[in-house]
Structure 1
Amino acid sequence: MARADNKTRFTAADVTAFLESVEHPTRRADARMLNAMFRAVTGFTPRMWGPTIVGYGRYDYVYDSGREGSFLATGFSPRKANLSIYIMPGYQDYSEILARLGKHKMGKSCLYINKLADVDAAVLEELIRAGLRDLSAKWVVHPV
């Protein structure tokens, strides 16, 4: 099957400029702290994925259906309503870690928190590591 390009791809946009453009001061401060956390945990330099996602690493996938593409390995987006944290792969059971995290909501591959003060930073770091480890067991993760 031909490679289908994802709508969300990494770009040459400046991560620091994006983080500094976040309007809400608490969300902007949290985004800076998340950037430092993800850099420390992953060892990867952040890249913008689309206009609003800060990603760390990349993996190339080929599904059983033949669909293939690339996507960020892990990352976050400081959205107006909350911080969206992308922990791949979304099919893993992280219930034990999430039970210790603090106030959050879950999507398929996305964790939603209102502010970093609502969660335990050490547990969030553990979750990022677990997601990256599990993703790396299935797909090769590249720095970008």
Structure 2
Amino acid sequence: MAYELKTKETDHSVVEFIEGVESPKKREDAYRLLDLFTETTGYEAKMWGPSIIGFGSYHYKYPTGHEGDAPLVGFSPRKAKISLYFATGDSEREKLLKDFGKHTTGKACVYINKLADVDEDVLRQLIIQSVDFLNKTYPKS
């Protein structure tokens, strides 16, 4: 997430973006994720770049001097899979993922085929864990 400098918050419509998702099932999952992330974080959904729906934000600064802003958590209903964006670097994430359901992981993403493959309660815990971890790691000044 943090390495994507091109990913900045935009004023584009989240609903218009979701309506543009080709697969009806993926579109339905995106609306359910929108509700889950909004309810769990208390943040309004915002578009980050052309395809990430993000919630909240934090400012990061690395020892190298590289810095920027990123959403605390987010998701993107992509063609192949749904990408879920959670904080990396917290061992709690790995524990929660053991009970999450069918998924794969990348550097900063967790990928699912469909929402029915995963446990929504664990998803809520992952969202809360990520927001808490990032707020502690990058406190607002």
Query: TM-score range, shorter-chain basis?
Result: over 0.9
Runs in 1 of length 4+ with deviation above 4 angstroms? none
TM-score by length of 2: 0.93
Per the TM alignment, residue 109 of structure 1 is displaced from its structure 2 partner at its CA by 1.5
1:71-129, CA deviations, whole angstroms, 9 ceiling, x for partnerless residues?
A: 111100000001000002x1122222111110000112210000000001011111111
Look up the match of 2:90. Answer: 92
State the 1:68 CA deviation: 1.2
Partner of 2:37: 38
* Equivalent runs, 1:100-139 vs 2, <5 Å: 100-139=99-138
Secondary structure of 1:26's counterpart equals helix
Q: Give, as a single letter, the amino acid of the residue that structure 2 aligns with 1:71.
A: A
Equivalent residues, number: 136
Alpha-carbon distance in structure 2 between the residues aligned to 1:99 and 1:71: 26
Q: Which residue of 2 aligns with 1:140?
A: 139
Cα RMSD after superposing both structures: 1.2
Q: Any conservation in 2 of the 1:97–1:123 contact (CA below 8 Å)? A: yes
